[in-house]
Structure 1
Amino acid sequence: NFWATWCGPCQREIPDIEKLYRDRGENEGDLVVLGVANPKTDSRPNNSDVSEADVKAFIDEQGITYPVLMDTTGEMFSGYRIRSFPTTFMIDKDGKIFGYISGMLTPDMMDSIVEQTMSGVRSSAA
């Protein structure tokens, strides 16, 4: 899940991602939940978010316990072609991208995409 501290929809879905993480075994089972932030650095002042220290403070304030990677170089954001926040990728057990969604997810959507990714069967619903 690629997100930014200033993104309202990102902020609204954080509690649901946190609940998914906790309910599904805190990355000890088949599901791994990761957040990815893009904090500014002295060498990369145009990154998407505030400083790494401020992102970490935000993580603490929000009570996020799932891992959040700090993409300080922008390499992941570029590699995944992130253009909007939030953007969530589903990656299957073989490391292949199963799909992605740009925009805020509801708990029902999260459950659905997790099940689809884990089963390898896409829902026929639009």
Structure 2
Amino acid sequence: MKQIIFTENAPAPIGPYSQAVLAGNTLYVSGQIAAELANSSDLKAEAKKVMENLGNILSEAGMSYENIVKSSIFLKNMDDFALINEVYGSFFTSLPPARETVQVARLPKDVNVEISVIAVK
């Protein structure tokens, strides 16, 4: 059985998908972006907003960043890796999740970063 997770405290889906799906004890969170900061040159603010969106969805499901076991980071430019890594890392004080980071040709709304996660209760 699956349960759709939705919060007003994160961007509404822009297509036929859910913000997150809880299946058993596992939460699959769709890639989050900071569309409102897409044209900003403040990449740190954009990454922080993405992480906050993820946190709001996790909270709606009764979880936190500590529940994340896997994340995927998609970057428009791999040259931004260190900056994104700094912001991302600030949300994990210990035992960070498994992760991959890849550069992609383009992201929705022309943002610089998109992050999806899998969390377990």
The two structures have a TM-score, normalised by structure 2, of 0.29
Q: Which gives a bigger RCO, structure 1 or 2 (Cα 8 Å, sep 6+)?
A: 2
Greater Cα radius of gyration, structure 1 or 2 = 1
Which has the larger strand fraction? 2
TM-score, structure 1 normalization = 0.28
